[in-house]
Structure 1
Amino acid sequence: MATVDALKIPEINLLIARYLERPHLVACLSVCKTWHQTFLPFVWKRIIIGTSRFVEGFSPSPEAMKQHRGLVQELQTDDLQLALYAIHYPNLRTLQLTRPFELDAESGSQVYRQTDKLVEAFLSRNPSVTKLTLRCKSSPRTIWGTISHLAGLRELILHESFIKREDSDDFWSVCMQLECLELHDTTVESRRPLSAGNFPRMRKLMLSSVGGLSTPDQLEVIKDCPLLKDLQWYSKTMTAVSKNMFVLHVAAGLWPYLERLHMMNILGDSDLATILDAQQQMTFLWLSGSGFGPLAFQALRRHFGVISELGLADCVNVTSVMFRDILCSCPRMEFLVGQGVLAKDIVEGGPWVCRSMRDLGLPIWFGAGEESLQPKIFQRLSELVLLEQFDMSVFQEDDPMPGLDPMPDLDPLDFRLQSGLGALSGLKRLRVLTVSGTRQSADIKEAAWMVSNWRDLEVIHGRLNEIDDYNDKLEGLLLYHNVFYDWSI
């Protein structure tokens, strides 16, 4: 029976290509003609070209870009080469343009005028773009007329942009066709006309430090998104009136499909309880600095079965038992951030069901005389075999765990083999470990164990040992194994 070389089967090679970084994909092109033909589309699918050194190891020339233009689906650039902007990419879907500028006002003005023309010409040549990201200090008026002709545009992301009053009609017209709009540190000089109608396709809206529009104006924009599923809203000028109006609109069912909410600092415990009671399901909540407390926690229980990401950093009303119950009750949880949880509460609680956890930012604290609980906690953590990032950091010396004695005598999880570290040998996907501010006493043998068992480990933030001489030795060992050791924090 004839044998078949599995690596010559196109379907298998296509599967392999999905998991390779660009330098490895480029290397595969030289293996044979079959591999060259298979891997070439993956090499050219996403291209990043910049005036700074290209970090991904693949910086194609304009000539090469023109030759392979039909394979390019995503392009990110801040390069001013005319040859690059003159190319038509028939299958381009995602475009990110950063408009560079000079510090000198006179030369900077000239560069801006040249760039404006290039950007407008480039967008006119590539009407297939569906996702556009712009990073620029200001925008020429004609660019919004050009963008309005991108009939397939569904996502628009603006960073540090300035929408002038005379451009606002074109800008809001563009927004009418979008499914996703993100405004980061962007100023919009003119509010949207009340007679303009709603945004019939908008599913995701992010308003972060938006200037020009008052908080009530921003709320009007949010109200005009009836199909909204994902809202991230942060305003430095948020008022209690606007906050209360937002909560009332949620309670009235204005956004029946809303399931992802990112709002920091402003919402109180009863506000959050009202929102959680009103929505059918919440899968993502980022509520750092909010008043999340017992009322919101009780309302959250209804969403335990579906929630996958929960950010409760700096929420002083969240208790250790609440975090314990979340770990025991949310099977789809992949991302959890909070102030911390007590080891004794973990041990006294039920088994963890969050086996899909990828990112855990939750300090674990031990009271006096609880050293015997260390191995039990390591055993619980060993169940999180998909974990990629584990953050135990704490930067406040007093009251590290809300709801406890003002001066608690608490110790952190001890990353030493004698305390049970060896139980974490199964965390093969762990890439980032953060122990900043936790007073560790690990030695060379622990560092050697980490690089031996955590083969994907890329960086350790914080000191593994409080003694500087030890850290010098640890740094040498970790760097030898290509692990960055940032023990300055």
Structure 2
Amino acid sequence: MFDLLELDEVICQQLKRQDLAQCARVNKKWNRVVTPHLWSNMTNLSEDRQMDFQIMIREDYLYEQQRLQLQEGDLGMEQHVQEHRLSPALSTLEKYGPWIRRLPYPGDLLSILHSPEEKKPAAHELIHHLYKRCPFLDVQELSITEGALSSNDKLRTIEEYLLRHARDLRVYCCSKMEPRRLKYLLKRCPNKEKLSLQVKVSNTEDAKEDWAVDQTVDESDDWVQLKEVRLYSCEGGSKEFWLWLLKRLSHIRRLEFWPRDEVVAECLAEVMLTDMAELDEIHLIHDIYIAADLPDDLVAALLSGSRKGWKVVKAKFMWDVGEVIMEALANHFPTLEVFDVNFCEDYMFNDLVRVLSSSPNLHTLITIDDNWLLRCQNPHLEAVKFIDRDANTGLLKAWKCETTLKVLKLKIRGIPRPDLEGDGVVGEEYPGQGHEIQRPVYDRLARFTNLETLWLGEYRWLDQWDCLEMSLESGLYKLKGLKALKELNVWCMKTKIGLEEVQWMTENWPRLNAINGIDRGFSDDNDRAVRWLQEYHPKIRLQ
């Protein structure tokens, strides 16, 4: 190996575990360099390796118990220890434990160390012993599941070795969890910067439980370092408990909320405006398979909860969105930078014109849901609405984000396509022919002079027939000024992109590195365009 520590680390980090094991057998120098990397990450072990890992920990634990008994004066154990000593020097875990940086999460580790009840020691005793042998663990990201919360002994172990170091704390418990257990965890994680909760909290404490864990701990009124919070399907618990928790989030800047319980949502709406002065990013996600159906006025209250104005709003709704919700969002258009929304009802998307025309700081607008497997309906914006002409002059209205917008992912439809009349799509409800509507759409797109990403289609099983042709004849040449464009996406759009179009794109969009959705097999011209790109511009990614 090289004598440069940094270079050795770069090489070793690229190798798989089996490759590292072979390198360690080359000679003493390689062994000295490689072995720490071989032991540093003990996650993702195969089943055979998990069994070997358990045996190693169990043997080391038993040997340590023998040594302790000997130190306590049990002279009858001395001969037994000498006869069954694992090694004349340090055990394997003693020797390599200080090199271990990453272990499986506590719940996964308990499963690995699990053994039949009659076999001693128990898993929680082994995990406590393992943590003692690994003093330099990297536990900045800590995920705690209900298996690790099932006893006071496990809680003590997590507190002693993990909680105080965690910066990203995640608690997932689908069974009812007592409020004091959750308080116990949160109080004893002083360095947390991110917090994720998916918990079902009981409404009362269990008086019968032997709560032996000391609950006294010094704590400030709020958690100063905590900046990001994710409340994923939290439910149960009293209003007093949730107010206790939420009022300590006064320094957070980013909130992700999957509403499951109306009481939790009401408490959150109450606290956001009074206590969360720095909050400027919200992700509000409503999935009918997970979340509760909240009334519109409560959703509007949540979307009104930034005292300084939202910079980032990401909202996914799978129910009908009422006007009160859009009005709550409209109050934040002046500060908005990222707007990522997906509503079930198409008609609400006509209000997107208000977003684009009223948001002077907007650089990202996304309405295309990438998680396409979960949706059966795709909202879109009507082309005649997107054009947005002045009623008196007939000219395009000026939009405030024309020079700031960099990412636009928006389906524009409702365009008559006489060229596809044989496929049953004529668009009789729209006046004029296809090109007469398409060209002003291109005129509107051309105004986003700093645009880097343009998605007009999404990967779905339903083709878009009433869409832009994306041909030079239909007006594509109007986008010549988009010199910053890097990515074009026309998935599932019935475009007429051919050889002439892709040659024009590569000539006029010098930073282009991806074209997604050219309909191969739709026509010979499409196929020629793909072959030409592959031959002359292989660095442009095609999907």
Establish whether TM, by shorter chain, passes 0.5.
yes
> 1:288: Cα distance to partner?
1.4
Aligned match of 2:281 in 228, 250, 260?
260
Residue 160 (structure 2) aligns with? 145
- The percentage of counterpart residues that share the same residue type is 17
CA separation in 2, counterparts of 1:479 and 1:98? 45
Verify the 8 A CA contact 1:355 1:384 in the aligned structure 2. yes
Superposed, 1:46-85 pairs within 5 Å as 78=44
> 1:206: Cα distance to partner?
0.5
Assess, with a 3 A threshold, how the Cα gap between structure 1 residues 386 and 442 changes in structure 2: closer, same or farther. closer
Assess, with a 3 A threshold, how the Cα gap between structure 1 residues 149 and 268 changes in structure 2: closer, same or farther. closer
CA separation in 2, counterparts of 1:311 and 1:380? 20
Q: Would you say 1:203 and 2:227 are equivalent positions? A: yes
Verify the 8 A CA contact 2:520 2:527 in the aligned structure 1. no
Q: Would you say 1:132 and 2:125 are equivalent positions? A: no
> 1:468: Cα distance to partner?
7.1
Aligned match of 1:444 in 499, 517, 521?
499
Q: Would you say 1:359 and 2:407 are equivalent positions? A: yes
Q: Once the two structures are superposed, what CA deviation does each residue of 1:401-450 show, in whole Å capped at 9, x if it has no partner? A: xxxxxxxxx82222222223344455565454333343222223334444
Superposed, 1:296-445 pairs within 5 Å as 296-316=325-345, 319-338=348-367, 339-345=379-385, 346-348=387-389, 349-367=397-415, 368=430, 369=432, 370-382=434-446, 383-388=448-453, 390-393=455-458, 411-425=466-480, 427=482, 430-445=485-500
Q: Once the two structures are superposed, what CA deviation does each residue of 1:70-105 show, in whole Å capped at 9, x if it has no partner? A: xx9xx996469999975669xx9xx89679979xx9
Aligned match of 1:270 in 294, 297, 317?
297
Q: Would you say 1:287 and 2:294 are equivalent positions? A: no
Q: How many pairs align?
A: 413
Residue 58 (structure 1) aligns with? none
Aligned match of 2:194 in 161, 171, 180?
180
Verify the 8 A CA contact 1:308 1:333 in the aligned structure 2. yes
Query: Which amino acid is 2:442 matched to?
Result: F
TM-score, with length taken from structure 1: 0.63
Superposed, 1:10-49 pairs within 5 Å as none
Query: Which amino acid is 1:288 matched to?
Result: K
TM-score, with length taken from structure 2: 0.58
Of the two, which has the highest radius of gyration?
Answer: 2
CA separation in 2, counterparts of 1:421 and 1:317? 26
Verify the 8 A CA contact 2:171 2:199 in the aligned structure 1. no
- SS of the aligned residue for 1:419 comes to coil
> 1:287: Cα distance to partner?
1.8
- SS of the aligned residue for 1:263 comes to strand
> 1:245: Cα distance to partner?
4.3
> 1:313: Cα distance to partner?
0.6
CA separation in 2, counterparts of 1:119 and 1:444? 63
- SS of the aligned residue for 2:316 comes to coil
- SS of the aligned residue for 2:494 comes to coil
Query: Which amino acid is 2:362 matched to?
Result: M
CA separation in 1, counterparts of 2:309 and 2:36? 48
> 1:308: Cα distance to partner?
1.2
> 1:272: Cα distance to partner?
4.5
Assess, with a 3 A threshold, how the Cα gap between structure 1 residues 389 and 41 changes in structure 2: closer, same or farther. farther
CA separation in 2, counterparts of 1:432 and 1:172? 43
Could you list the runs of 5+ residues in structure 1 that have no partner in the other structure? 1-29, 31-35, 55-60, 401-409
CA separation in 2, counterparts of 1:314 and 1:303? 18
Note the aligned Cα RMSD (angstroms). 5.3
CA separation in 2, counterparts of 1:123 and 1:334? 46
Residue 243 (structure 1) aligns with? 265
Assess, with a 3 A threshold, how the Cα gap between structure 1 residues 309 and 351 changes in structure 2: closer, same or farther. closer
Verify the 8 A CA contact 1:386 1:429 in the aligned structure 2. yes
Residue 393 (structure 2) aligns with? none
Verify the 8 A CA contact 2:346 2:380 in the aligned structure 1. no
CA separation in 1, counterparts of 2:264 and 2:194? 23
- SS of the aligned residue for 1:445 comes to helix
Could you list the runs of 5+ residues in structure 2 that have no partner in the other structure? 21-29, 54-92, 116-121, 206-214, 287-292, 368-378, 390-396, 416-429
